[in-house]
Structure 1
Amino acid sequence: MSASTDIIDSEPESWFHRNQQAIAPWLFLAPGILFFVVYVIAPVFQSFNLSLYEWDGLGQAEYIGMRNYEDLYYEWVDRDAFYTSLKNNLIWLVLYLLAIPAGLFIALLLNQTVFGIRLYKSLFFFPFVISQVVVGLVFTWFYDPTFGLLNQMLGVFGMGPINVLGNEHLVTYGIIAAGLWPQTAYCMILYLTGLNAVDPEQIEAGRLDGAKGIKMLWYIVLPQLRPATFIAFVVTIIGALRSFDLISVMTQGGPFGSSRVLAYYMFEVALSEYGFRMGYGAAIAVVLFMIMMCFITYFLWSMYREEKGH
């Protein structure tokens, strides 16, 4: 009996049995990876390929090489629609980053043990859960020059009505202010989560060393919030560069195209009044993608250098 048991125990294990702990995570990840490759990675390469063609979406695509990119360059030089869209995207990028310090400030205020703090957290969290379309409609009513709350408040101080969405010099800033409302709430959530993971021993050690206020925040709290800050930067940059919903709802690129951004201009060129220029729209998408990748690569490299330094 013991001899037969020894023979069974000595049988070689299969390759799957020996490596099942290493294989199991990949089996669970496989569906997600497949969807990511099919619906994210593959369309990126398709956009690169389509940008080399002239195509209206229905007929035969004609290979034209880099002509779409040449047209973009000449539009940028002549300060045409592409120049306006790119300039507005840069304005979005700079001002949208205000959501990060604003979210941190609110998170620090809400990270207190006071009565009713859950209610306050819910109120600040509310803008993040509502749709961008709803945000756009709310701020459209807020800016309305006839009955909007903004002009009602200005009237209290004896100031005349301001048509924010009808002024080509103010419209972009008005839409960005609308976008900052939910984006700040998102950054606040990230920092609240990060603050829950802050090491209390380091806080206590800092207090014993005399650190408090700004010094405590700068030297002890913020270094531990680095992962949350990285995610906040990446998500905010991507949100600023792919801004579309609010512009579509609030102004549709107006007045006179002054509030266009690259994502909305891509939609106009490829699927709207400009004649279904799919290749030209794909070229705009490629430019937008490269700008995003430059910023994200920079932050990834910065984090890698910091981690390597430690």
Structure 2
Amino acid sequence: MIFIVYVVFPIGQSILMSFYQWDGIGEKVFIGFGNYLELGEDPQFWTSLVNNILWLLFYMLAVPLGLGIALFLNQEVLGIRAVKSLFFFPFVISQVIIGIVFSWFYDPSYGLLQDILALVNIDPLPILADEGLVTYGIIAAGLWPQVAYTMILFLTGLNNISPDQIEAARMDGAKGWSMLRYIVIPQLRPATFIAIVVTVVGALRSFDLVASMTAGGPYGSSSVLAYFMYEQAIFNYRMGYGAAIATVLFLIMLIYIAFFLWRMLKDERG
């Protein structure tokens, strides 16, 4: 009942609102699919959609990177807890703080990145001011905490792996890549699915970093659907248009997650 009231009902209400023209104050005017037709002709919508696709593609790197770090940290050596805390640290930092830190890091005048580039004789790169680089720069900032999150999920999964199966596999001569592929990874499927879901959700709700680092600039080139929705609904008083953008975003998330769920169920049945 709580799920219906706080999740299903607001989603349905948002979808219904997308068929209206409404400024959030006056009367709602039913316009059918007018908002969606306008989206198809809005170049800023397509820029935001392409950026979201880039977020989805590159954000998925967090899953194998998180797994690799988790495998490295899942060992009993002196000082490993301190190392774990360092990798865990980005996850507990606010996204806004991460955005500010990376803005300093990218700064073409005094940023640390420019000092690193100077060591190899590369001219300063104004990443957040370059329309072709800005989205990739923000994605790199977002990957830092996302990798930490997936690492935590995989560490939890590794702790739940049956030691009996590991020992039996070792007695049969499995080691290295064969141990990882046939014994470890199959037992990490629940953790992998959760890691994929939270990574997809994180990529599609990439609002905080965009808002704190560029506010969608330069010239709207780094905007994503979540920020475009916020911009239209709050600043332009177009609640119905913003609801249409939110509906498109919801459908992309639903299709993406359903695809991975179908693949996992298919693999398990196989």
TM-score, normalised on structure 1? 0.85
- 1:182 is matched with 145
For 1:67, the aligned partner's letter is G
Match of 1:279 in 2: 240
Relative contact order (alpha carbons < 8 A, sep ≥ 6): 1 or 2 greater? 2
Higher alpha-carbon deviation: 200-209 or 228-237: 200-209
Aligned to 2:120: 157
Question: Deviation of residue 226 (structure 1)?
Answer: 0.3
Question: Hey, what's the Cα distance between the residues in 2 that align with 1:256 and 1:220?
Answer: 49
Cα displacement (A) at 1:189: 0.2
Q: Which amino acid aligns with 1:69?
A: Y
Report what 1:37 is aligned to.
4
Distance in 1 (alpha carbons) for counterparts of 2:17 and 2:44: 21
The question of 1:227 aligning with 2:190 is answered yes
Look up the match of 2:83: 120
* Distance in 2 (alpha carbons) for counterparts of 1:91 and 1:190: 24
State the 1:211 CA deviation.
1.4
Which residue number corresponds to residue 25 of structure 2?
Answer: 58
Provide the rounded CA distance (Å) in 2 between the counterparts of 1:296 and 1:57.
31
Match of 1:243 among 198, 203, 206: 206
Distance 1:299 1:168 in 2: 32
Structure 1 unaligned runs (5+)? 1-32
SS of the equivalent of 1:305 reads: helix
The 1-side partners of 2:107 and 2:31 are apart by 46
Name the CA distance, whole Å, in 2 between partners of 1:269 and 1:185: 32
Other-structure match for 2:63: 100
1:209: how far off?
1.8
Aligned to 2:37: 70
1:194 aligns with 2:157: yes
Q: CA deviation at 1:175?
A: 0.2
State the secondary structure of the residue aligned to 2:23. Answer: coil
Runs in 1 of length 4+ with deviation above 6 angstroms? none
Deviation of the 1:305 alpha carbon: 3.0
More moved, 197-206 vs 298-307: 298-307
Q: CA deviation at 1:37?
A: 2.5
The offset of 1:301, in angstroms, is 2.3
Amino acid at match of 1:43: P
- Asked if 1:298 corresponds to 2:259, the answer is yes
For the residue of structure 1 that corresponds to 2:36, the secondary structure is helix
Distance of 1:111 and 1:263 partners within structure 2: 36
Residues 1:168 and 2:131 aligned together: yes
- Aligned residue pairs: how many? 270
Larger Rg computed on CA atoms: 1
Measured after TM superposition, the shift of residue 278 of structure 1 is: 0.7
Write the distance in 1 (CA, Å) between the matches of 2:23 and 2:257: 32
Task: Measure the CA separation in 2 of the matches of 1:282 and 1:198.
Answer: 43
Distance 1:187 1:195 in 2: 12
Q: What are the superposed Cα offsets for residues 152-197 of structure 1, whole Å, 9 maximum, x if unpaired?
A: 1111222111111000000000000000000000000000000001
Shift of 1:40: 1.8
Distance across 1 between alignment mates of 2:35 and 2:174: 57
With normalisation by structure 2, the TM-score equals 0.98
Tell me the C-alpha RMSD between the 2 structures. Answer: 1.0
CA distance in 2, matches of 1:99, 1:152: 26
Amino acid at match of 1:123: L
Deviations 1:56-93 (A, max 9, x none): 11111100001101111222xxxx10110000000000
- Work out the CA distance in 1 between the residues paired with 2:54 and 2:262: 24
**1: CA distance, partners of 2:185 / 2:268:** 15
Residue ranges of structure 2 left out of the alignment (5+ in a row): none
Report the Cα offset of residue 43 of structure 1.
1.0
Letter aligned with residue 118 of structure 2: G
